[in-house]
Amino acid sequence: MQEKSVISRVATAASGVFAPGHLGELTQVVDCTLVDAVLAETGAVERRVRLLPARVVVYFVLALALFEDCGYRAVWGKLTAGLVGRGSSYPHSSSLSRARRRLGAGPLRALFESLAGAVAWRSTPGAHWRGMRTVAVDGTTLQVPDRARVTQCFPKHRSRLRETGYPLLRLVTLVETGTRAILAAAFGPDTTSEISYARQMLDNLGPRMLVLLDAGFDTWEFLRDVHDYGAQFLARSSARRCPTIQRRLPDGSYLARLGHGKLPVRIIEARITIILQDGTEQHEQWRLTTSLLDHAGFPAQELVTLYHERWQAETTYASLKATLLDGRVLRSQHPHDLEQEVWGILAVYQALIRVASDAAASRPDLDMDRLSFTVALHTARDQVTCAASALFTKPACLIGPIGQALLANLLPAHRRRRIKARSLKTTSKYAKNFGKHPRVTQKYSFHAHVMVMERGLPARPRP
């Protein structure tokens, strides 16, 4: 029944100077009404109709994110390839650049914020645990152009002898596990810490939400703030933290207090054994800090296993950086344009996730981990080039070409855990860890033994 469902909204084609204002099938998610609304909200509606209206420029910026390997005129050609005879112009690159500058970053940020949010149902695999929606906070960096105007806002890193590498933009997101939908994002120079950006997203947290955090977010003040917004937390703790045991619990965990007794927490310490496919064993010691104090309702062994879901944030960044950006440096040559570009990339990513979510909802118990982001991206690009959903007036299908391509190319149903190969180069900053990781990708089994580390945890080696 769901596969035959349609929604009543009608996709209407524009003509003349507004004709290139589309994104193929993704126009059903980012429709003209929504774009016009965010333009009006941000005061970016033009006073007179230009050859490049603001609505069209918004879609052009989104298309830049879809076709990261193409220049301005090539991307414009993608938008107009299927619009033969509909009166579209062919502006010069400088005109498109000025149009981007006139538009600014505000409309793209408002557009992303309207698309952002959780997409999982209660039945979505991997998105809930014991009645709580699981989300993860983590950060990454994006390379930006090495230009004088850019480095004024995004300074380069310096060694003792010289400047090194590209300037970096730090991006921090709040991601829903199970679907990898982005609930919120904050970014800026990498001279600002991840926690500072994470604090900007705290108002997106709420009751019945469990936040998974890496060791960089385990300061007691930040954990207190997360809890004050009604959410629970499960954070990896560093070896430097030495909590005093207040009461041992039957499952091997114990109660403690952080921040001079201001924040009650439960500590779970575990010895981790990873057995690789070739028989090699790796051993680690973990310390997890959680606000879930009830050991009977929230068993320690399950929490250790659940913590692996934090890697959904890493998978999100892989989709953004390796698939959508294809490892490229951001294209914008001005800080304001960079802000606009990043919001556009995030908006396109979230639109693709929403389409994938609709496709997954058409089949009961289908895990969204089986839907390939690469397939969604390439199909969406094809739909832009042929102007799908932009030429005809018809009901918008719930499962369109993108969803059909996703369902026809599902990833394996039972994907075993794999440990990533790490072949280190002589110039790598991780050279000190040479030989500690496999040189080829291998399957592995994971075993955790919850116990109190009476002598504390050894410090993790720094790269």
Torsion of CA 315, 423, 162, 321, to 10 degrees: -20
Q: What angle separates helix 72-80 from helix 54-66, to the nearest 10 degrees?
A: 110
CA-based angle 247:248:253, to the nearest 5? Answer: 120
Phi-psi region of 453 (alpha: psi -120 to 50; beta: other; left: phi over 0): beta
Instruction: Supply the DSSP symbol for 23.
Output: B
The DSSP code sequence of 43-108 is: T---SS--SS-HHHHHHHHHHHHHTTTS-HHHHHHHHHTT-TTS------HHHHHHHHHHH-SHHH
Helices (DSSP H) in 323-369: which residue ranges? 335-361
Place of tokens 């929604």: 7
Per-residue pLDDT of the chain (463 residues; tens, 9 = 90+): 444 444 444 444 566 788 899 999 999 999 999 999 999 999 999 887 778 999 999 999 999 999 999 999 999 999 999 887 655 678 999 999 999 999 999 999 999 999 999 999 998 999 999 999 999 999 999 999 999 999 999 999 887 767 778 999 999 999 999 999 999 999 999 999 999 999 999 999 999 999 999 999 999 999 999 999 999 999 999 888 888 999 999 999 999 999 989 999 999 999 988 888 888 888 888 999 999 999 999 999 999 999 999 999 999 999 999 999 999 999 999 999 999 999 999 999 999 999 999 999 999 889 999 999 999 999 999 999 998 655 444 555 668 999 999 999 999 876 545 565 554 444 455 555 556 667 677 777 888 888 888 777 777 655 4
The CA distance from 214 to 318, in Å, is 17
The confidence score (pLDDT) of residue 240 equals 81
Which residues have CB under 8 Å from 162's CB, separation 6+? none
The CA distance from 101 to 148, in Å, is 18
The two tokens of residue 364 are 């009961």
Place of tokens 């955090």: 213
Mapping DSSP to helix (H, G, I), strand (E, B) and coil, where does residue 346 land?
helix
The CA distance from 460 to 456, in Å, is 12
Nearest of 223, 157, 155 to residue 189 by alpha carbon: 155
Nearest of 62, 40, 44 to residue 350 by alpha carbon: 62
Sketch the domain layout of the chain as residue ranges: 2-115+333-408, 418-445
Query: Which class for 89: exposed (0-12), middle (13-18), buried (19 or more C-beta within 10 A)?
Result: middle
